[in-house]
Amino acid sequence: MRKGLLTLAEAVKLLRKHYGPPAPPPSGDPFELILWENVAYLASPSRRREAFELLKSTVGTSPMAILAAGPGALERVTARGILKENFADKLRECAHLAVEDFGGDLRKVIRGSLSAAKKALRSFPGIGEPGAEKILLFTGRQALLAPESNGLRVLVRLGLLREETSYSKTYAASRRTAESLRAEPGVMQEAHLLLFEHGRTLCKRTAPRCEPCPLARGCAYVQRVQSFSSRHSPPPAGRSAGPRAKPEKRPRSVRG
C-alpha cells in the first residue's frame, strides 16, 4: 500500500466516528432480505425502509402471504420506488420461487456450502453475486464485505482496491481488500454499511465532496488531485509559462 494512505480498518473507524452506528437492514431472514432488494426499485434508503414496513404491515412477508395478495396491495408497496407494476410482479415471482424450489423456507439452503447458498439466492429476481453475498452477510451466515457500487467506489478512491476492466472483476478483487478486517459478520456488516453511506453522501460518483470528508488525509484520490494541481499551478506573474507542454489528463473519476 502507498505511504500515507489509510488502511480499511482505519477508514471504517473514521467513518463510524463521522456517521455514527449504521442502521442494518430490517431483517436477518434470507427471504425477507430478498424482498428488501426488490421492494422499491431505485428508492432512497428511507423510502425502501418505508416500503418494507408497509409490506410487512399490510400484506405480510411470508411467501404465502405475498402469493395471496392482490396486485393493488403489492403495487401500493412498490410505488415507493419506480416501475411499481414490474416490481410487484417480482415480489410475486420471489414468493413463487421460494415455495416451488425451497418449500417456502430458505434458512436451510443458506446453512449449506457458500457456493450452494449463492446459487440458490441468485435464482431470485434482482439477485446477482454481490446481492447473494450481501444477503449471506446480513443473515450472519458469512463474513463477506460484499460492497455494492457506492462502497466499491470508496475503496477504489482510497487506493485500497484497483479498478479492473469490469465491475465484476473489481468486485471480485474487493474480497482480498476485505481480508484486512476481522472475519466476523458483525465487523463486515458495519464496514459494508459505512462504505455504502459514505459513497452515497460524500464520496459521490460524479463529484466527491473531499473537503468535509473525514478520510481526506489518507485518500489516494486526494493525493492524485493535489499532485496534479502542484504540477499545473499557473506560473508566477511576469514569468513566461515556457514552452507549451502536452496537456495531461486530470485524475480519472472512478465510476460507480
Give the nearer residue to ligand SF4 in terms of CB position, either 63 or 218.
218
How far apart CA 30 and CA 97 sit, in angstroms, is: 13
CB of residue 222 vs ligand SF4: minimum separation in angstroms? 5
Q: Which is nearer to ligand SF4, 78 or 174 (CB)?
A: 174
> From the CB of residue 212, how many other CB atoms can be counted at a distance below 10 Å?
9
Cell numbers that stand for 25 in this block = 437492514
Shortest spacing between CB 168 and ligand SF4, in angstroms: 23
CB of residue 220 to ligand SF4, shortest distance in Å:
8
Are the CB atoms for 24 and 238 separated by under 8 Å?
no
User: Shortest gap between Cβ of 19 and ligand SF4 (angstroms)?
Assistant: 13
Find residue 82's DSSP bridge partners. Answer: 41
Binding site for ligand SF4 (CB under 6 A): 154, 157-158, 202-203, 208-210, 213, 215-216, 219, 221-222
- Look-up: residue for cell 466527491? 208
Report how far residue 201's alpha carbon sits from residue 213's, in angstroms, rounded to the nearest whole number: 10
Measured from the CB atom, is 117 or 194 closer to ligand SF4?
A: 194
Supply the minimum distance, in Å, between the C-beta of residue 224 and ligand SF4.
9
b/e map of 122-131 (b: 16 or more CB within 10 Å)?
Answer: eebbebeebb
Q: In angstroms, give the least distance from the CB of 218 to ligand SF4.
A: 9
Q: Which is nearer to ligand SF4, 120 or 156 (CB)?
A: 156
Query: Which CB atom, from 81 or from 218, has the smaller least distance to ligand SF4?
Result: 218
- The CA distance from 217 to 222, in Å, is 8
**Minimum CB–partner distance for residue 128 and ligand SF4 (Å):** 25
Burial 224-244 (b: 16+ CB within 10 A, else e): eeeeeeeeeeeeeeeeeeeee
Number of continuous H segments (helices) and E segments (strands) in the chain: 13, 0
Q: How far apart are CA 28 and CA 25, in angstroms?
A: 8
Nearer to ligand SF4 by Cβ, of 30 and 208: the residue is 208
Which lies closer to ligand SF4 via its Cβ, residue 87 or residue 221?
Answer: 221
Q: Is the CA virtual torsion 129, 135, 140, 143 positive or negative?
A: positive
